[in-house]
Amino acid sequence: MIPKAWDRRLYWWAVGLYVVLAVAALASGVTSWDEETDYLGIRTQIAHAAQMLHGDSPDYRDIHSNLEYYGAVGLLPAWIFWFLQQSLLVGRLTLPQALFYPAAEHQLTGFYFTSHLLLASEFLGLSWLVIAIARELGARFPWLAGCLTLLTPSLLGHSFVNPKDIPFALFYTAYTFTLLRRYRSTDVRWFGWSVLASGLLINQKFVAIVPVLLTELLLFGLKPSAGRSLWRSVFVPSAGLLLALLLQPASWGLMPVVYLREAFDTFARHEWGGCMWWGGSCVGINQPGWMTLRYLWNWWSIKWPLLLVLLVVLQAAWCLNRLRRDPQSLKWGNPWWLLLSQAALVPGMAVLRQSNLYDADRHTLFVYPALAVIAAFGFQHLWQWQGPLLLRRSLLALAAVLAFVLVLDDLALNPYQSAYLNEWGRLSHDHKTTALDYWAVSAKESLRQAQLNGNLPLSPTVDDSVGPLPLFIGYRQLAGHVETDASPRLKFQVRDVPAFSNLDGCTQASEVSRTLSTGHRLVMSRLWSCP
């Protein structure tokens, strides 16, 4: 026997653990490679909108980087809150300054903190949506699905620094929940919630219009009465697309068809010339024999927590056994197809189109919420299984051990849970030649270590050939400025090379590493001081 509502208590323990980890991460001031670019992107998006409303016709291609194709809604709340804080509470920032002038470093630091706080809140909201989906599907332990979401290292680590993929996972999961509600009810309110969720999802990444359209057609095929008519299934993605375009200032001065075509090309064939090191091999979109399927398999095999894999496999085994006994039990029309579409539809499209993927599993974070729901059902069927008692108890004990190890790893890696490797990944290949901190989140800690050890020059030059953007950000936060003509030079090695190597004539200033519960030491980055 187990205590009643044990899964709810476990979930709130997981929430408490996440809050502790999030506070520590926010206090450390970690930033990722893309964050200053993301700030410039949202600022230029809003400036673009202001110019359009004043009757000007700015070129949407003037928006920083290629962020004219990324939705503004992911960072817009953080920008608004940060602006109000700076203007109303601090009283030193006006709207023209916020839009058209470079921000001071203290202002950027405040924006990073605000956006990170928003991301952490969104991550907690994501866990609630996962619980709601599990309940909608009739799970006995729905809170377990939320708990698994909070403990998944890739999601957890990115919830501190990723304003692109965490909101995308949130909106996708929200959209899936509205689909399930529409499957159960014809209440027009859920029809409207689907339009809102799909609009936010499409705005975050416009390529999402395709899975939204396909999923709406799937819902109509599963239960025509849920959509009442085929035209409603077409209207939802159409209205969602219109909402997404209205929330995207970059699209206002351009024909929607032209904008969408360019956005599709950007996401499907994103220009990225690097590669991700995996077990000593350079896996990149420009490498011979590139295959999206192989890329996904390589990274999923070492990134998915074994606890999640075990429970998902158990659920799959239960489904196959039930199908063998009763072929009609899993007939067409089951709402589970809607959940499975979130897990498999976009990755399947990426494989068919041979889309460009990089940054480990970052582009598929939205898959984890669906896997968490499936895993909760896997545990449920394991708990109710009437098979051999010894095998059942052994599997339950294995799940408990894997959960305990997962918690220890989350604690040990903080705030670099995105560098997580599962037990198979640590033992099956050389983790010392695998990309870990590919977003250079550890740059600020490396600088802080060098400063504490007395190895950080007062006015070094940061070598941007191997020193990514967060190093500049971190150094400005610590030292105030960077002198471009000073000596020595700082060189930053992040795990995007096959192995760390000593730099000739350079002195190692710091090293950032974490030791997992199994004793495996993961080196994130090294900082060198060079003549």
Residue 205: which region, alpha, beta or left (left: phi > 0; alpha: psi -120 to 50)?
A: beta
Question: Domain extents for the chain?
Answer: 6-272+287-376, 431-530
Strand, helix or coil for residue 512: strand
The confidence score (pLDDT) of residue 300 equals: 93
pLDDT tens-digit readout, 469-483: 555 555 555 554 444
Phi/psi of residue 526, nearest 5 degrees: -135, 145
Side-chain half-sphere of 93: how many Cα atoms within 13 Å?
25
Spell out the SS3 assignment of 393-413: HHHHHHHHHHHHHHHHHHHHH
Closest CA to 275 of 167, 360, 386, 398: 360
Specify the pLDDT at position 267: 72
pLDDT digits (tens, 9 = 90+) for 78-103: 878 877 777 765 556 555 555 555 45
Q: Is the pLDDT of residue 223 over 60?
A: yes
State yes or no: pLDDT of 406 exceeds 50.
yes
Between CA 147 and CA 312 the distance in angstroms is 15
Q: Which of 10-24, 314-328, 447-461 shows the lowest mean pLDDT across its residues?
A: 447-461
Under 8 Å between Cβ of 119 and 268? no
CA 427 to chain centre: 25
**Six-digit token string for 407:** 């918690």
Q: Strands (DSSP E) along 146-280, which ranges? A: 276-278
Task: Give yes or no for a contact between 417 and 153, defined as CB atoms under 8 angstroms apart.
Answer: yes
pLDDT value at residue 404 = 96
DSSP string, 318-374: HHHHHHHH-TTTT-TT-THHHHHHHHHHHHHHHHHHT----TTTGGGTTHHHHHHHH
SS (H, E, C) 8-54: HHHHHHHHHHHHHHHHHHHHHCCCCCCHHHHHHHHHHHHHHHHHHHC
Measure the N-to-C terminal CA separation of the chain; round to a whole number of Å.
Answer: 67
The answer, yes or no, to whether residue 444 has pLDDT greater than 90, is no
pLDDT tens per residue across span 293-346? 888 988 899 999 999 999 999 999 998 888 888 777 666 668 889 999 999 999
| Cβ partners under 8 Å of residue 501, min gap 6 | none
Query: Cβ neighbours of residue 490 under 8 Å, at least 6 residues apart?
Result: 457, 460, 461, 462, 463, 467, 471, 475, 509, 527, 528, 529, 530
Give the pairing of strands 521-530 and 276-278.
unpaired
Mean pLDDT of 398-416: 95
